Structure 1
Amino acid sequence: MNIWFEDLLRFLTQNPNFGLLASALLTSTAVVCVAKTVALQLRRRSARARSIVWRIAMLALLAVGVWRLMPEAAPPVAVVEWRVSFPAALPDEPALPALVLPEKSAWQRVLMFLEGASIQLWLGTATVLLLRRVLRAWAGLLWLRRRSDQAPDFIQRLLWKMNAPDGLQCRVAQRLHSPMLSGWRRPVIWLPPDAAQWDERRLGVVLRHELAHLQRADVAWQWLAQCTACLWWWQPLAWLALSSLRNETEHAADDAAVLAGESMHDYARTLVEIAASLPSSLGKLPGVAMFGGESVQRRVRELMKASQWRGRIGVGALSLISLVAVILAVLAATKVEFKPKAPMYQSEAKLVAGGLDDKVENWQAWRDDFNGTITETLESSEMKRRALERTRALHPDLRGRDVEIHVSLQEPQMQGSSMFGVQALSEDREYARVFLDALLDEFIAFRQAIRRQSGGKALQKLSQDERANPPPGSAESRDYVAIQKRAQPATEVMQSGLVPVWKLWRKE
């Protein structure tokens, strides 16, 4: 599994367009999952609160798509990098004879084409889908306008009693099955032809429902959601978010109509009566239709549930919505990048520490304790801090780098001593060598300091988190430090003679 994952990351790193698609997929999936989780948490609250969550999710998806396709529009506030290592060639590698590469297979040629044209394919398909929706809506409204008449006067008077806006029109269109609202600057309520024979109760239910859509600007939000879904045409979760927004929009409009004065039972009965006369498929309507989305059975079931939060948000839901808005904003502004790992270089040293007395009791435990103390001292954060300060003081021109220190116990070279292998890993070859020099100098100075103190108290004060037992020894004992350094890439097997070798012998 790890090998497969590494191969996938390496593939995305080598193909930046596929990497951008993968980054967009991860971010958009996270946005929809967060919105779905919050919507489930608000399932006992109002549909109005859940519709706000999905509106924020659609805005976040739109921002993610724009920032991925046009990175210069708004730079991300955070970057999450997944780095993968590549095999590097050895320095001074002899030139290889020219090879005749085999012809690429059909699958490889398809991948190369898709990698080069993936962004154009994304944008091109999104543009075609959006233009198709716009032209279809425009043609549908034009067709309705030519085959419709102004609503009868009693319907206009009923709208006036409901305090409808002055610019609102109401028209009766031929061959229209479901009531519908269109336009946000010049809104129009479209009614089916048999609306002229409806009684005042049924008309009141329909008109209050459409006025609720108008008051909540559902037409504008539905078009924004349509644009977002067209942009993310290849992301199934984007269409799930669009469907969830439509459903919650209808539930919220039902709640608003009931709260505006309609009886809950009369409203539910009217929904069932109108739905019974509708054809099995209504098709795509150029507006916010009262029917054609979620099933009427579920709408009635949600409507009949007793809820004290109908049409209300509440402080708790508002706090949760504010929190999800912040989370989705951070997700939208976070970019995932696939980059190759920087080459790591290591500077190696062999250190021989003497001072062991093989005549003491329990000598094996004493030696293990001594070796553990040396290892913990070299790897301690305090020793690294001292080495960093020394490096900055002696080499102010070097740029600071992260350095990893690893100490391993090796076979002793002489009786009464232990040999340690010390490695400093860094992205900069020179910095790794200089830092290891400073670390060993600080270690020697520290050993000299603790020998002048009784009981090894300085060793106990080395770090608050790292406690070690001081090694026993006398002032007459001698410490031999043998250091052999070399710098090389940590991921390569270096051969002798490829890098310079430094030798330094010190004797206290």
Structure 2
Amino acid sequence: METFATLQFGFVPALASALLHAVWQAALIGVAAALGLRAMTRASAATRHLVGMGFLLAMLVVPALQFVLGFSDPRALDPMPWATIGAPTLADAGALVRQTSPIAAWIVLPWMLGVAAMLLRHVAGLRALSAMERAPHVSLPLHWQQRVESLRRTLGITRDVIVRVSNDVVTPCAARWLRPIVFVPAGLLARAPADQLEALLAHELAHVARKDWLWNGVQCGVETVLFFHPAVWWLGKRIRQEREHACDDLAVAACGNPIALAEALAALAAQRHALAPPTLAATGGSLMPRITRLLSVPPTRARRGALVAFGALAIGGLLLAVQLGFAGGHMPDLEVRASTDGPLKAGDYREISANGVDKRRFYRVSVDANGRATEVYEENGDARAIDAASRRWIDDVTQKWTTDVARIAVPPPLDFDRDVHFQALLAQVVMQDSVVARLGSPVHATMQPVNGNVQVDGAGGEADIEVELAGPKGRATFAVQADRASDVWTVRRVAAR
């Protein structure tokens, strides 16, 4: 259960912060990718594919680093207004308060559902591929096997490539990395001209030579994690287009006949079918731009809309992150309230309130005038002994969620003699039966210092103090714990020391 608490109050806020950052980070990287690829019109398709994959990986790596930073040390995010936990603020009576943003769970939960849906989609694709592999098939005719071997050597493929002819396959496609397979429709083998079939086989073998199955897997992984971002989908579509262009270039170099490949693609466009996502088909990407490119017709210029859209998304995402961060500060999931962010000394205290999915936790430690620490630990409102697991959680929260507050002006200690809240509390204490029985009546406070803390937050508050009282029967020091609601103090405990 302590691991679950760490996930709620460490992992989830850090992940939510990283996802918020990813909105504008991926948009800015998308702008850079659009500009970079636009400037590389004279570069080879293989180079553009490699650069595009670099930008796509950057879209994942940058927020991943943000997550690692926030999870390992939430204090590093304090300068940001959307930090997983806000900077310490001064409450009434000089308490330093830090609290998490509750919106984290509402960000992470839909993201997890989206990732699960994407994973199911990829699993369905892998199952479809397995079904294709189990379907009845025959081998290529001998002369075509020899031609495939020649193309394999020309393309520099050192591994054996299995080519299967099946009636259950609707378009040529390649799959697998360590044991590559090329699927060929039986109808295509029967009706396609030899030069067109050779060009299509060369294209699929080019996928094998370029290890595109691996590239495609990495791309699918990034798109799964960042499924919510349009810049990721735009760049992913562009990468697939450049991947097909690169394979077209290799196929033409191996066969020497770009027109045959263009005619084959045009024929496939008339009977195009959707395939499982893991496969790499000859019909991948946009067919008409590929045909146009093979026939050496100058391509149309890309519109500027993508740059404008990504720029607007970057600015809008940044503003959204700020807006959500500020909105989250009013409903804490985890709150740390203390008289100091440093080591506790005489008269100091620290409280941790954590409202988790599994349970509510409350911890308080206070130090009296003699340096003795008193600890209270509750789960769901019930007092519990602090076992090893609870101690680890307390220590982890204390270490992670406190910070240097030298920049904050901490007010001087409360003047109990002049504080109206303390005087109202004292009026309740001196009337307690146990006090009157011990000291007689009337009872008053002595001139000795009052140790402990009185916290007042609007009409509410609480107190944990030690005060010396005197009466007709003598004097004694009493430990007092009290709560304040609607401007009225209620004494919970009074005990003579």
Identify which of structures 1 and 2 has the higher relative contact order when contacts are C-alpha pairs closer than 8 Å and 6+ apart.
1
Query: Radius of gyration: which is bigger?
Result: 1
